[in-house]
Amino acid sequence: MIPGSCIAKATSQINNNNHQKSTPSKITRKRLPKPLQLVLALQAVGLAALTAFTGAKAEQAKRETAYRASILHFLSDPATTKDKSYEYIKDGLLIVRDGQIVSAGPYKSSIAKLAKTSNVVNYSGYLITPGFVDAHVHYPQVEIIASYGEQLIEWLNTYVFPAERKYSNSQYAREKAEFFLSQLIKNGTTTALVFATVDPTSVNAFFEAALAKNMRMIAGKVLMDRNAPAYLLDTPESGYQESLNLIKKWHGVGRLSYAITPRFAPTSSPAQLQAAGRLKAEFPSAYVHTHLSENKNEIAWVKSLFPERKGYLDVYHHYGLTGPRSIFAHAVHLDPKDEVNTIIKTKSVLAFCPTSNLFLGSGLFPFRTLRDAGARIALGTDVGAGTSLSILATLNEGYKVAQLQQQKLSPLEGFYLATLGGAQSLSLADRIGNFLPGKEADFIVLDPKATAISKLRLDKSQTLEEMLFALMILGDDRNIKATYVAGVKQHEQP
Ligand SMILES: [Zn+2]
């Protein structure tokens, strides 16, 4: 029990007996990186944003374009296959056509096979990598980033809930969704797993904005039927039905996927978690996205709310919410035996959110221990508890969190987690994460010497690892020279 907290007010369990079981509807996952197909998807959801991707941008995606720069991408996890885990081409050429990767190879041999009509963009002196993946972030919380003085439960009550209320206004939600996506792009993030709010309006606004930019995004409506202000509560029935409607409307449209999103165990009744589990069973290709074992008071609270369960993770496991497409943010204080075993056995994913864990004083994620145990781990910014939307800044703090536990997070491992590792954790490695032919062309152009200090540091360095380490410790949005989404330039610094 957390004194003085409206989130801690006990409410009665909601009876689920009248819940209508819906017939699972067949959701066809469409591969739609191509401009024409995207336009059809936009038309299907009736968007005013239709014009955003027609014309010049659609043309840009269709044409074959080659980008000359240093190129780095991963083929596997450097922690397990050190020598052949990545490909680094000092003078490389990345060829893109119709929003997809054609090839990544040495400039000299690649330029010879390029069609005469192809456009060549010269980024010599810069580094091209796949776009970054953020596996845990809340778009309605961007406006309360850097809010002072609280830990998890008090921070939710004081800052988060009043902010999330505003996202029931569709115009407000759309404006903030567009702001959020433009900030992700500016920071080099091209795919994210995103919390909206309890109101479906916030999800529609987010997906409309992401579809207009043709981004590969995963999001969902928050499920929350107790221990929060009445203006943010749904019920097991309404939460199920609204999630179902959103899955039918958005899951597999364009490059979008849906995540079933209970905020965390304390704000969902057993009936609601049961309904979430039913939804997951009916739509196995949908994701589950929630929080787990972030803060010690939170863990004690879960134990008091679910005394019949073995622990926090067992609550989710019991309701069928663990699995390869389940992403649990934080997991700072897992039981090292039982809970870690369940994470590994179920192939569930943990989102490591170092800036958030430090900001809220939650604790140190046992990064190396969990990686070595075989847990699937991705990086998350967790804004607004996180303090930056930059995955580079996240790696900076992640390195320090490891150091405080006498552990290491190497630069190669860091860039793997930011790209292919993130894609694998989100079961998207067949689409994004590296530059194998046919992958979707989400990539960024990094400027390792964007600031005077990084220039001073790197003018004397020799190796790839030194460059990557300077980027992950000193880097932020200033180092993102340009961001391309499905072959279309969405951002470039002058
Ligand atoms: Zn979070």
Distance from Cα 312 to the centre of ligand 1, integer Å: 16
Tokens of 261: 């999103």
- CA 109 to ligand 1 centroid distance, Å: 46
Comparing CA positions, the residue from 264, 214, 220 lying closest to residue 100 is 214
Report CA(164)–ligand 1 centroid distance (Å): 13
User: Residue type at 38?
Assistant: L
Ligand 1 midpoint to CA 372 (Å): 24
Largest distance between two CA atoms of the chain? 71
Q: What pLDDT does residue 40 have?
A: 57
Expressed in angstroms and rounded, the spacing between residue 445 Cα and the centre of ligand 1 is 28
Instruction: Please tell me the distance between residue 114's alpha carbon and the centre of ligand 1 in angstroms.
Output: 45
CA of 236 to the centre of ligand 1 (A): 21
- What's the half-sphere exposure (Cβ side, CA atoms, 13 Å) at 67? 33
CA of 338 to the centre of ligand 1 (A): 23
How far, in Å, is the centroid of ligand 1 from the Cα of 474? 25
Could you tell me the distance, in angstroms and rounded to a whole number, from the CA of residue 330 to the centre of ligand 1? 8
Question: Cα(294) to centroid of ligand 1, in Å?
Answer: 9
Dist. CA 193 → ligand 1 center (Å): 10
Q: In this predicted structure, what is the pLDDT of residue 149?
A: 86
Distance 111 CA to ligand 1 centre (A): 45
- Residue 170, C-beta contacts closer than 8 angstroms, at least 6 positions apart: 201, 204, 205
Protein residues near ligand 1, an ion, with CB under 5 A: 329, 382
Residue 180 CA, ligand 1 centroid: distance in Å: 15
CA–centroid distance, residue 395 to ligand 1 (Å): 17
pLDDT of residue 42: 57
Tell me the CA–centroid distance for residue 195 and ligand 1, in Å.
8
Opening angle at CA 276, ends 33 and 238, nearest 5: 95
Query: How far does the centroid of ligand 1 lie from the alpha carbon of residue 466, in Å?
Result: 32
* CA 89 / ligand 1 centre spacing (Å): 37
For residue 486, report the distance from its CA to the centre of ligand 1, in Å.
27
- Ligand 1 centroid, distance to 223 Cα (angstroms): 14
The CATH class that applies to domain 133-425 reads: alpha beta
Q: How far is the CA of 267 from the centre of ligand 1 (A)?
A: 14
CA of residue 136 to ligand 1 center, whole Å: 6
Q: Hey, where are the domains in the chain?
A: 133-425
pLDDT at 19: 36
- What angle (nearest 5°) sits at the alpha carbon of residue 88, between those of residues 83 and 458? 110
- Dist. CA 226–CA 229, nearest whole Å: 8
Alpha-carbon span 24 to 126, nearest angstrom: 48
How many whole angstroms from 131 Cα to the centroid of ligand 1? 22
Distance 137 CA to ligand 1 centre (A): 6
CA dist 272 and 419 (Å) reads: 34
**Which strands make up the sheet holding 443-446, listed edge to edge?**
100-106, 86-97, 65-74, 119-130, 443-446, 480-485, 488-492
pLDDT of 18 reads 34
Expressed in angstroms and rounded, the spacing between residue 447 Cα and the centre of ligand 1 is 30
Question: 4 CA to middle of ligand 1, Å?
Answer: 22
How far does the centroid of ligand 1 lie from the alpha carbon of residue 289, in Å?
10
pLDDT digits (tens, 9 = 90+) for 351-395: 999 999 999 999 999 999 999 999 999 999 999 999 999 999 999
Q: How far is the CA of 214 from the centre of ligand 1 (A)?
A: 24
332 vs 330: CA distance, rounded Å: 5
User: Comparing C-alpha atoms, which of 354, 471, 356 is closest to residue 405?
Assistant: 354
106 C-alpha to ligand 1 centroid (Å): 41
Cis upstream peptide for 384 (omega within 30°): yes
Q: How far is the CA of 391 from the centre of ligand 1 (A)?
A: 15
Question: Contact 487/61 with Cβ under 8 angstroms?
Answer: yes
Task: Give the Cα separation of 225 and 14 in Å (integer).
Answer: 8
Check the CA dihedral 328-332-333-335 and report its sign.
positive
pLDDT, averaged per 10 consecutive residues of the chain (494 residues), comes to 38 33 39 53 53 62 90 96 88 97 97 89 98 98 93 92 96 98 98 98 98 98 97 98 98 98 98 98 98 97 98 98 98 97 98 97 97 97 97 98 97 98 98 98 98 93 93 98 98 96
